[in-house]
Amino acid sequence: MEITNRLDGPMGYVHVEQREDNPLNRDEVVARLRDEWRLRQEAILSLPSDETGLQLDRVYAFWQRVGTSRRAIRFLQPPDFRGVQMMVDASEKAGGAFLLEEDMIIMQRGNAHEQLNGPELTESFVVHEETHAEATLLKLLGVASYNAYSTPEEEMIDVWAEHERAGFIVRSPDGTLQGVLPEEGLGELIRGIYVVEQLDRPEGFAGRLHPDKPGLADKYGYWTRSSESEEPHKAFAQGLIGALIFDHLIGKDPNLFPALLGARHTYEALEEMEGRLNTLVPSLYQDMMAVDMTTKRGQQTAPQLFKKVLALTT
């Protein structure tokens, strides 16, 4: 499967907000955005990529089964990873990320997760990030406005992009996010499949959550710690609850899985996904979209939603 780079093609997923103080036309805004993203992409690609201990052939062989394209990846040691995070304003807590604007993936090597679980955990999170990168339902809002420090003699223009849609994630006009739960949940669901089928780890990296019986969550677990002086403890990624909801419901409706994959690409498939979820549990699609896992309230609401799904479908 060839590496796809959307920066080489038409930027069809960018449109320009029309503002009274916006003197630039769409082509000019897109050109400036493209130039900025390409420079950042080239800077990241110039960094050394540490693939030691990774079996990327099996990652890409697995991805061919569920994806239609893949992105360029850089496996970075912590200093370079933190530098890229600062450059692109990515989350400080992430061990990996799909960079939408630069259209590539960065993964951190040598962190606590990898030290405790081995490079196979990093492989599994490559699959998670490729799931985000796979989405072609994208819409970026290009914005151009006068710089606050402009003078009559020198009009300075700022150009930036805001995400209106990235896969299942949609930004409302008031700035709130919808769709974080299903977006992260699908990434974890597919990572879990990789862990079981490619790595032969049905109990994940940290063993059973409940020692006396296997559980749906086992394959998603791994060891972590906040500092070297801290004892390792079992952890799960942000998308766990979304993955558990999808995992459980696919057992009730196997056609939900291909619907989830298709919903990354067309609004027709997205409507099918919505219909299948809501047939299993009324208004489930809307309820999942409304949970913002980046907030404490969302993190508290998600487990309650999973309990509701179990109650109505078990």
pTM of the model: 0.90
Token duo for residue 215: 């559980």
- The answer to whether residues 267 and 197 belong to one domain is yes
Last residue within a domain, chosen from 117, 152, 167 = 167
To which residue do tokens 């099996």 refer?
Answer: 58
- Residue 253 confidence class, pLDDT cut points 50, 70, 90: very high
Helices (H), 76-228: 78-88, 112-117, 119-134, 180-197
d(CA 24, CA 159): 10
- Residue 305 confidence class, pLDDT cut points 50, 70, 90: very high
pLDDT single digits (tens) 4-41:
666 665 444 566 665 665 566 677 777 888 888 889 99
- The answer to whether residues 150 and 13 belong to one domain is yes
Arithmetic mean of pLDDT over the chain? 87
Last residue within a domain, chosen from 105, 133, 167 = 167
- The answer to whether residues 157 and 73 belong to one domain is yes
- The answer to whether residues 183 and 230 belong to one domain is yes
- The answer to whether residues 93 and 211 belong to one domain is no
291: left (phi over 0), alpha (psi -120 to 50) or beta: beta
- The answer to whether residues 257 and 294 belong to one domain is yes
Which range is most confident: 43-47, 142-146, 172-176? 43-47
Last residue within a domain, chosen from 167, 190, 214 = 167
Q: Rg of the chain over CA atoms, in angstroms?
A: 21
- The answer to whether residues 229 and 153 belong to one domain is no
pLDDT: which is higher, 9 or 290: 290
Q: What pLDDT was estimated at residue 11?
A: 47
- The answer to whether residues 144 and 209 belong to one domain is no
pLDDT: which is higher, 113 or 22: 113
Count of domains in the chain?
2
pLDDT: which is higher, 69 or 27: 69
Provide, rounded to the nearest whole percent, the portion of the chain with pLDDT above 70: 86
- The answer to whether residues 63 and 160 belong to one domain is yes
**Helices vs. strands in the chain: H and E counts, helices first:** 11, 10
Token duo for residue 203: 């109990």
Token duo for residue 153: 């003699």
- The answer, yes or no, to whether residue 182 has pLDDT greater than 80, is yes
Range of 157's domain?
A: 1-167
- Residue 146 confidence class, pLDDT cut points 50, 70, 90: low
Q: Tell me what the mean pLDDT of segment 168-187 comes to.
A: 88
- The answer to whether residues 163 and 203 belong to one domain is no
- The answer to whether residues 146 and 184 belong to one domain is no
Q: Tell me what the mean pLDDT of segment 103-125 comes to.
A: 93
- Residue 92 confidence class, pLDDT cut points 50, 70, 90: low
- The answer to whether residues 139 and 181 belong to one domain is no
Q: What pLDDT was estimated at residue 15?
A: 61
pLDDT: which is higher, 194 or 314: 194
Q: Tell me what the mean pLDDT of segment 190-202 comes to.
A: 97
